[in-house]
Amino acid sequence: MRAVVQLKNRFDAISKVNKIANAMQIVAIARIGKIRKMEKMAAAYEAALEKIHDRIAEIMVKKKPDDEQKKKAGGSLIVVISSEKGFCGNFNTLLFDRLTRRYKPEEADLVVLGRKAIEFFRGRGYKIVKEFAKVTDQPTWARVSLIYEEMEKLFDERYSEVIVAYNSFKSVISQEPTFYRYLPFERKEIKQETGWFIFEPISPALLASAEKGFRAARLFRIMVENLLGEMGARMIAMRSSTDNSRELMDELNIKLNKARQASITAELSEIAGTIEAMRGGAE
């Protein structure tokens, strides 16, 4: 009987895990649809601002070609984007592992976004310049703009480059650790008319403003893309957890039935033995 109780307790515990994992999987699936739409809109907005920037840059180059950007002295600043919560498989650990192998603590300082990155990099020898918690699970334009302004300020003051480390979204089942050189801004060569806007007056301040808007939009899109990858990883992890717990429940159910049968058989044998003993005593 004791074995039956123990098996039943294990079955109930795994059943609760199964229900929680299944619920988290359903939530992740629902959020994937919403975030995918958000990512498409963010990408379209980024593309529109890029087109505006390219048009201004094209006019500026025609009027007065820019000098080549001079290299700045200073180290690298890595902006690490992680999830706020766990239960998403190796989504964060792959990125962290790639980063620690690529950049040693003395080679780069960090700005960490998301609770998982904060927890991981504290006490690992890296200089954490800035921490942002509760920003990666629901990125908003206001939050991202503040982060961008901080990144630009740090770049202007003491760093030669800013690298954004995040998980780029390939598909629901595939996310790839990515290191994107965010600053300094590299102006691409304009090969053809980008058209449809006339800007007056044209000034370096207008180009700088266009660059800032474009860069902020790109950071917002990157954070949304990272969140989309997180939801995909969580959906897969919770699906695997649901399937595994269901298999364990099936195995425990078989063991539980066998234990119950053995318990019933033992009780029947005990009753039969008692009856036989009573009959023998009566004779």
> In the beta sheet, which residues pair with residue 163?
78, 181
Task: Spell 75-114 as b/e; 16+ CB within 10 A means b.
Answer: eebbbbbbbbeebbbebbeebbeebeeebeeeebbbbbbb
Which of 19-33, 76-90, 91-105, 179-193 has the weakest average pLDDT? 179-193
Q: Does pLDDT of 224 surpass 60?
A: yes
Structural domain includes residue 39: yes
Contact predicate 114/133, CB 8 Å: yes
Those residues whose C-beta lies under 8 Å from the C-beta of residue 60, and which sit 6 or more positions away, are: 66, 202, 204, 207
Query: How confident is the model over 128-152, as pLDDT tens digits?
Result: 999 999 999 999 999 999 999 999 9
Structural domain includes residue 11: no
Residue among 111, 118, 176, 175 nearest 144 (CA)? 111
Structural domain includes residue 73: yes
Contact predicate 35/227, CB 8 Å: yes
Structural domain includes residue 183: yes
How many domains is the chain built from?
1
Structural domain includes residue 131: yes
CA distance 175 to 75: 28
Structural domain includes residue 12: no
Q: CATH number of the domain at 71, please.
A: 3.40.1380.10
Q: State the DSSP H helix or E strand holding residue 176, giving kind and residue range, or none if neither.
A: strand 174-183
Instruction: Tell me what the mean pLDDT of segment 194-212 comes to.
Output: 72
Structural domain includes residue 246: no
Structural domain includes residue 215: yes
Q: Does pLDDT of 205 surpass 90?
A: no
Q: Does pLDDT of 67 surpass 50?
A: no
Find the domain containing 38 and state its range: 24-238
Instruction: Tell me what the mean pLDDT of segment 67-95 comes to.
Output: 86
For residue 52, what pLDDT is reported? 87
Query: How confident is the model over 235-245, as pLDDT tens digits?
Result: 999 999 999 99
pTM confidence score: 0.84
For residue 170 the two structure tokens come to 């390939």
For residue 66, what pLDDT is reported? 47
Query: How confident is the model over 246-274, as pLDDT tens digits?
Result: 999 999 999 988 888 888 888 888 888 78
